[in-house]
Structure 1
Amino acid sequence: MEEKFAYIEGAEQPIAMHPKKFALWLFIVSVVMIFASLTSAYIVRQAEGNWLEFELPSIFWYSSIVIVVSSLTLHFAYLAAKKDELSKLKVGMIVTSILGVVFLIMQWYSWVALVDREVFFVGNPAGSFLYVFTGLHAIHLISGVIFLIIVLISSFGYKVHSRNMNAMEMCVTYWHFLGGLWLYLFMFLLLNH
């Protein structure tokens, strides 16, 4: 009988993860798979010819800077939450939320710039892919901005602090992922355009 208890005591504990964090990681993996398949399809279709050559709008560079800065401000807010510096947390969340909205507005203006260059969603597949990439990313970014606003409201309700970091950690993970995804797409388009 003692041997059974000795065996159980020596058993390793499974790695535990909050179910919502696990769901977020599953979602992130599915988004990665979608964009991986789209970028693969882009390369295959580009090799077939009949590909419109055009310059990417310069606003993509500026929006890339905005998304990087927003990740920095969110990290600032995250560190403030871990230290229970709630005023800094609120400032970081406000600035990050504003930058998220600014990024979305810049994406809209990138479409305006594309139309000015006579690059449309229909017609040549080069334009179609660009609109799909940026549009799909914008849809995910809208959900990210909503998540930022939820955490912002929670921070004003004193629900985000060092002992309650789950929502903040998930928001940081998702936002950094969206920023990294944008930088990947932008670099992909620069290299394969």
Structure 2
Amino acid sequence: MNPATKQKGTPLSTWQRIERAHPHRVILTLFMVGSFLIFLFLMLALYFSYDPRGNYSLFLPKSFLASTALLMSSGFVFDRSLRWLKQERFDKLLYTLLYTALLAVLFVILQVAGWSQLHGSGIFLNGKASGAYLYLITGLHLIHLAMAIAWLGHTLFTVWPAAKDPVKQLIISTNPYQEIKLRMLISFWHFLSIVWVLLYLFFLYLF
């Protein structure tokens, strides 16, 4: 058997995959790991600072349930964009990106509405620690999502001119880095969706 053939069929180890990964993908992975640890620390801080037996109780705004459904739906929609890029269907790719951006904006609106409900119930950012942590955790997630939306906006400005320009479509479709960037953005988007679902379940359990 040819050694080269044997080596080609051998699955790569974890370290070999890391070595072959694009540097930007490695940086994004490290960023997501660091962000997850920060969220985990804040969740623990909220857990130990919250006392449901006192006269100060937190609640979960109803708008957070709707925002959870929107963010999860946006992830399913966003997955299709990679297929449209590979098939060079830039019209469908553009619509998919626009629809994902719309769902993300609606998520932001619902999050702000949830904060308004908390504020109206006497739970303030500068109040007790447990209420402050609730604002801090959801606000930090919203900042991460704002970064993803800005990244999505940059992708839209790249795809939009190419939707009706065959030359620009050819340039984008033949550039492997464009696919890498889209894969990275989708991975980051799913990361934020998973983190939010975990946060929502944690809030449900705690409150």
TM-score, reference length from structure 2? 0.81
Work out the percentage of aligned pairs sharing the same amino acid.
27
Separation in structure 2 between the aligned mates of residue 33 and residue 51 of structure 1, nearest angstrom: 31
Bigger helix share? 2
Separation in structure 2 between the aligned mates of residue 149 and residue 88 of structure 1, nearest angstrom: 16
Separation in structure 1 between the aligned mates of residue 122 and residue 49 of structure 2, nearest angstrom: 20
Please give the secondary structure, in 1, of the residue aligned with 2:50.
helix
Residue 188 of structure 1: aligned partner: 202
Separation in structure 1 between the aligned mates of residue 172 and residue 54 of structure 2, nearest angstrom: 53
Does 1:106 pair with 2:110? yes
Q: Which of residues 2, 18, 30 is equivalent to 2:22? A: 18
Residue 73 of structure 1: aligned partner: 77
Please give the secondary structure, in 2, of the residue aligned with 1:165.
helix
Q: Which moved more, 1:152-161 or 1:14-23?
A: 152-161
Distance 1:190 1:82, change over 3 A: same
Q: Which of residues 110, 115, 122 is equivalent to 1:118? A: 122
Total equivalences in the alignment = 186
Contact 1:93 1:152 in 2 (8 A): yes
Ranges in structure 1 where 5+ consecutive residues have no aligned partner: 1-5
Residue 45 of structure 2: aligned partner: 41
Ranges in structure 2 where 5+ consecutive residues have no aligned partner: 163-168
Residue 57 of structure 1: aligned partner: 61
How far the C-alpha of 1:44 sits from its partner, in A, is 2.1
Separation in structure 2 between the aligned mates of residue 56 and residue 17 of structure 1, nearest angstrom: 40
Contact 2:51 2:57 in 1 (8 A): no
How far the C-alpha of 1:113 sits from its partner, in A, is 0.9
Separation in structure 2 between the aligned mates of residue 160 and residue 150 of structure 1, nearest angstrom: 14
Please give the secondary structure, in 2, of the residue aligned with 1:120.
coil
Please give the secondary structure, in 2, of the residue aligned with 1:98.
helix
Does 1:149 pair with 2:165? no
TM-score, reference length from structure 1? 0.87
Contact 2:58 2:131 in 1 (8 A): no
Separation in structure 2 between the aligned mates of residue 27 and residue 176 of structure 1, nearest angstrom: 14
Distance 1:160 1:37, change over 3 A: farther
How far the C-alpha of 1:87 sits from its partner, in A, is 1.2
Separation in structure 1 between the aligned mates of residue 101 and residue 75 of structure 2, nearest angstrom: 10
How far the C-alpha of 1:160 sits from its partner, in A, is 4.7
Letter in 2 for 1:116: G
Q: Which moved more, 1:37-46 or 1:103-112?
A: 37-46
